[in-house]
Amino acid sequence: MSHRVAGALFCLLFGTRAAWAIDPAAGTGGAAFMKLGLGSARALALGRAYVSLAEGTEAITWNPAGLALAQQREWSYSYYRYIQGINSPMYMAYSHPLGRTVLGANIAYMNTGFEDGELRDEFGRPNEASEAKVQDGFATMSIARSFWYEKVFLGASLKGVYEDNAGTIHDVIVGDLGGLLRPNSYVSFGFAAQNLGASNSRIARITRVGASMRVMGLLTPSLEITNASDGPTRLGLGAEFLMPEELLQVGQIYLRIGYHSTDDLGQALEKDRSFMYPLVGSPKLSFGLGLFTTQAFGYGLGFDYALVSFGALGMADMMTLKVKF
């Protein structure tokens, strides 16, 4: 694997603190790409504080219980332009309501190819190969159902994960469990346990707990605490503002901001700075917007966008397109 991809993934997923301060579990979990947040630009924009807000097709990767909130058939597609030439050109998901039960499925793929730079093997010795390819992906089948007059939602997923890291191939099948409690239309509590049934060396287990609240129907703050078996506990905070509908005639516009307690990833390089720098310069902050309309060709159409800085490693963004029918 090239020094660029190794360095990028290590710094992002396991921290860039001094060696004596790195979490002792850092680097012990497999399938690290599963923690990148594929499938939901809304979740990334909200600082990953999403376990209590996840719904429809986006819930399959964040909290399968939220799948039960789907009232219509839904199809979604996401494109993630990540750092250091790493991209996820395909994430597709579909949900299908059957009364109080909803079925869902998704598939995701990410890849990168390195045709320059110095390649080294696992012992740090130069590798004569001129190219290294990384190809990862997963596919999920999910089911969710509402209970107790649609105040409690439970969901479960079965997921196959595939890794090809420069010819080293691993695959594993794991399960996810999730729950939502919505005692009223304003407050929501969420829980998800992900990647169950496999050893930490094959794939890191992740536990999410969070809550959110709608304020005056326009502002929705959210909070999430995430713990991975191969890293420290992280805090996510998000806020979503819905512009007053009387200002719009054809749809809804959402503005989003998030905070995620990642490690210090250095200062954004000048070539990577956006027009919003230094606001969009800290790897702890994220931003996004969302658009939704029901007046386009008779379908419900949604578009979400997220912009995230990873400090000296560069900028990343994601777009998600949804169709409800």
Give me the tens of pLDDT residue by residue for the chain, a chain 325 residues long: 444 444 444 444 444 443 334 556 666 677 888 888 888 999 999 999 999 999 999 999 999 999 999 999 999 999 999 887 788 888 999 999 999 999 999 999 988 755 445 566 666 677 665 566 778 999 999 999 999 989 999 999 999 999 887 777 889 999 999 999 999 989 999 999 999 999 888 899 999 999 999 998 899 999 999 999 988 999 999 999 998 876 666 689 999 999 999 887 777 777 666 666 666 667 788 999 999 988 667 788 999 999 998 887 888 899 999 999 9
Structure tokens belonging to residue 304 = 């979400």
At residue 75, the pLDDT reads 97
At residue 7, the pLDDT reads 45
Q: Where are the domains of the chain?
A: 3-237
| Cβ within 8 Å of residue 5, ≥6 positions away | 84, 86, 112, 114, 132, 134
For 56, 79, 108, 234, the CA distances from 39, given in Å and listed in that order, are 11, 8, 8, 20
In this prediction the pTM is: 0.84
- Residue among 75, 49, 106 at smallest CA distance from 286: 49
Q: Is the dihedral of CA 298, 243, 234, 311 positive or negative?
A: positive
